[in-house]
Amino acid sequence: MEVIVQKIKIGLLAFLVSGGILVANAATTTAQLPTMNAATLKTYDGKNGHKAYVALNGYVYDVSNVSAWKGGKHYKGMVAGTDLTSHIDESPHGPNVVKQLKLNPVAIYK
């Protein structure tokens, strides 16, 4: 059993060294994200072919492909290109919607 475990460890090490870290390389860490301010975020309003971005809890998310954000508009007057942090608790879904929709941040909001 110990020999099998050792062979697995060696095989795994060889895989990692040879560039087989596909999952780790595919995921962008927050340290690698660019920053975005309110003026830049405002340009991502979802209108006229622009992408639709929203800021939430210090991060910016691309909601362009979320049907509820079509044309940069959402429910109750929420619009893309804005920071929705102060309004998220009023929504029926709350901040967990980011996880539910499997959205990854595209920038850090500052």
* Residues 14, 88: Cα–Cα separation, whole Å: 46
Burial of 54 (0-12, 13-18, 19+ CB in 10 A): buried
* Residues 69, 50: Cα–Cα separation, whole Å: 12
- State the residue for tokens 């959205």: 103
pLDDT at 94: 87
Domain boundaries, the chain: 29-109
Structure tokens at 9: 């460890």
Look at residue 93 and tell me whether its pLDDT is greater than 90: no
* Residues 10, 4: Cα–Cα separation, whole Å: 10
Look at residue 78 and tell me whether its pLDDT is greater than 70: yes
Close Cβ partners of 66 (under 8 Å, ≥ 6 residues apart): 52, 101, 103
Q: Look up the CATH architecture of domain 29-109.
A: Roll (3.10)
SS3 103: coil
pLDDT at 76: 82
Look at residue 22 and tell me whether its pLDDT is greater than 90: no
Q: Which of 2-16, 21-35, 92-106 has the lowest mean pLDDT?
A: 2-16
Residue pLDDT, tens place only, 24-66: 333 457 779 999 999 999 999 999 999 999 999 999 999 999 9
